[in-house]
Amino acid sequence: MSELPPSERFEQGMATRRAVLGDAHVDRAVASSTPFDKPFQDLITEAAWGHVWSRPTLTRRERSIVTIAVLAALGQDDEVAMHVRATANTGASRDDICEALLHVAIYAGVPAANHAIKIAKHVFEQMDAGKAA
């Protein structure tokens, strides 16, 4: 199957994905992509990053807060960690994340929020250690 050239939405999605997650993360994802998962990588770049994250209504900070809350409620641990790391690029503060996880506790359950808080604390420790190094 021949590939179509990247759409404008894909290009916008890649730019947004890089701005939020950082070049190193995106470069690793692209480099580890195989013919099996490349269609998935293309889909999330165009749909999640090009259609949703690139919309002007919410700021990246606001999208970051919402995303972390939804991922925590769904128990998506790896994605929670990734998006907590991305707060360095989105402007979402630790207080913002704390507030979002308080909402998770009430609306999705204390265990989900408790686990996400543990993940966020661990990621913040890693981020702080990286700054100190």
pLDDT at 2: 58
CA distance 128 to 121: 10
Q: Where are the domains of the chain?
A: 7-57, 59-133
Q: Which CATH architecture has domain 59-133?
A: Up-down Bundle (1.20)
In degrees, rounded to 5, the angle at the alpha carbon of residue 62 between the alpha carbons of residues 59 and 67 is 120
Q: What tens digit of pLDDT does each residue of 46-93 get?
A: 999 999 999 999 999 999 999 999 999 999 999 999 999 999 999 999
CA distance 123 to 47: 27
DSSP 56: S
- Record the pTM: 0.91
Those residues whose C-beta lies under 8 Å from the C-beta of residue 92, and which sit 6 or more positions away, are 61, 64, 65, 68
